[in-house]
Chains A and B, each alone.
Chain A
Amino acid sequence: MEKNKDTLGLHTFMQDRKTLFCYSGPLTEDLLTTISNPVRHQLSDDETKETVAKRVFGVFIEQAQNIIRYSTQKTKSTGDSIGTIAISVADDGFMIEAVNKIDESKKDVLEATLVELSVADQKALRQMYKQRLRDGPPEDSEGAGLGFIEMARRVKHFEFNFVESGDGALFVYRGWVS
């Protein structure tokens, strides 16, 4: 009976917060390939402008690849990265959110980067993106080091925080697109 309540609670919770898509668990590039089309389909109703849908999709891809590359919580058998990613309908657009465990020692650098990005205007972000492209990726980046700048350019605004959780910190990111 208790479990039944949980299941119903999960359904009601997701419906009430207008979550269109949510995945929580091991995330791989193969899985990302598989879910890309359904996610895009969810965003492509007649009322959503194509440019908005593309921005949401862009932020979604960057967040998913951040989880795949940087989550420090891994499955025991295959070492796949674990995290949560979701897209919900927000007041005048969409909210994209992601949670994953990160290396505690990377927290300060990440925090400083995101604070810098959160106060930069579009013009400054564009300049930072170009500069990063010319300079090449930072040493500990597995991508081009551009992901968070790209996301900041596509969202209207974003929030983030770090939550202590035993053997590391949980990184929480929320971005709004409209």
Chain B
Amino acid sequence: MKFEKTQRTPLVELGSNSCLIKGECYPENIAEWSGPVLEALKKTLGDANAAFNVDIELYYFNSSSAKFLFDFFEFLEESSEEGKKIKINWRYRAEDDTMLEAGEDFQEDITACEFNLVIVEYANEDQAQE
């Protein structure tokens, strides 16, 4: 299942054992956007039959979206406590202190899932496309 990226919302791609969130997140109404995303994630994770990988690569999110991320991680933590094996990769650009700090802050509350802070290096062409 796929939620296409828009100017103000990231790409969300759900595979049978994976979830990718990539882009920027500052929608008009975070609840309107995140409701269906969380629903789909719950379904996917419920059906998952192997270790579940979550990759998050955000360049910017506003303060309203922070609450969505908080709820998102809380759900993953609960699922992990119930027995799901979940690995989260928080991907950030080397110079992006803001996203590194955000990742560190979320990491602090996560104990059941595996949570990794991963530096992303970009070739120039990749950056130009965004």
Contacts and interface: CB of A to CB of B under 8 A. Distances in A.
A54 B95 CA distance: 12
A131 to B, nearest CB: 11
A36 interface: yes
Interface string B47-61: 000000000000110
For chain B, which range describes its interface: under 10, 10 to 19, 20 to 34, or 35 or more residues?
20 to 34
Interface in B57-80: 59-60, 62-64, 66-67, 70
A54 B98 contact: yes
B110 to A, nearest CB: 13
A36 B8 contact: yes
B67 A54 contact: no
Contact of A50 (B95, B108, B109): B95
Contacts, number: 60
Nearest to B8: A33
Contacts of B28: 29-30, 32-33
Contacts of B121: none
A61 B64 CA distance: 11
Contacts of A143: 63-64
Interface stretch (A5-13, A144-152, A160-168): A144-152
Interface in A4-33: 29-30, 32-33
Contacts of A65: 62, 64
A33 B7 contact: yes
Given A129-B105, A130-B105, A133-B70, A51 B63 contact: no
A137 interface: yes
Interface string A41-68: 0000000001100110110011001000
Interface of A: 29-30, 32-33, 36-37, 50-51, 54-55, 57-58, 61-62, 65, 126, 129-130, 133-134, 136-137, 143-144, 146-147, 149-150, 154
Interface of B: 7-8, 26, 28-29, 59-60, 62-64, 66-67, 70, 95-98, 101, 105, 108-109
